[in-house]
Amino acid sequence: MVRYSVDEFVNQTKQQDKGEGLFELETKRMMEINLDGQVWAKSGAMVSYRGNIKFEREGILEHGLGKLFKKALTGEGISLMKANGNGKLYLADRGKKISILKLEGDSIFVNGNDLLAFEPSIQWDIKLMRRMAGMLSGGLFNVRLAGTGMVAITSHYEPLTLMVTPSNPVYTDPNATVAWSGSLEPEFVTDISFKTFLGRGSGESIQMKFSGEGFVVVQPFEEVYFAEQQ
């Protein structure tokens, strides 16, 4: 085969059936859903599909007034779409790395910006950052996912999971925090000297403190949300 030929490119990049089930990583940054029914996905994440699949934005009252109210408080919030039918659906989100998790009766919190897709068997709810929400960027909120089923999350570059123990809490930058186990409830702490050290100007640096037993997933990148750019 001729080096750099079109045939070589096609053979190296063409889609493969790996037989991994409903959620399947085609590459580190693109996921294939072998759809036979319904799945929830982040709006705008569809890059391609084949088969008989219909897409529908979530209804305003589809998840009840409670979630509608929370979405209003968090700005855009998490915008979802339903994919129904049979076929292959390909999702991606700004070239971010995709990780697939199988929940088996447990729960996980995910930064709303890092949630890509999940099965309809998963129960979910938007969790506000309590009184600290007003001090943080408009895009910073999280979603609690619980039950049994597949969940796909994204991160900028390779994620790192830090274990939390009662004797060893973990502190994170909220903008670099991707997810954490459902057993943890973060609290917010401030550190004036830390922000000054980093040269970020005057004021207090807000950090998330995780105490107890569980894990926290961080990424080597700080999300800059629209609200911070204004």
The one-letter code for the residue type at 137 is S
CA 40, distance to chain mean position in Å, is 13
If you search the block for the tokens 């001090």, which residue do you land on? Answer: 135
Tell me, what's the pLDDT at 112? Answer: 86
Question: Which residue in the block uniquely carries the two structure tokens 């994170």?
Answer: 172
Dihedral sign for Cα 119, 70, 174, 188, please.
Answer: negative
Instruction: Pull the structure tokens for residue 5.
Output: 């030929």
List pLDDT tens digits, range 43-83: 999 999 999 999 998 654 455 544 544 444 334 456 889 99
Task: Give the pLDDT confidence score for residue 225 in this predicted structure.
Answer: 56
Domain 20-229 has CATH 3.50.50.60: no
Give me the pLDDT at residue 76, please.
45
Instruction: Give pLDDT, residue 137.
Output: 47
pTM: 0.84
Per-residue pLDDT of the chain (230 residues; tens, 9 = 90+): 578 899 999 999 999 888 888 999 999 999 999 999 999 999 999 999 999 999 998 654 455 544 544 444 334 456 889 999 999 999 999 999 999 999 999 999 999 889 999 999 999 988 766 545 555 544 467 889 999 999 999 999 999 999 999 999 999 998 899 999 999 989 888 876 665 555 554 445 788 999 999 999 999 998 865 443 33
Largest CA distance in the chain: 62
Q: Domain boundaries in the chain?
A: 20-229
* pLDDT reported for residue 197: 57
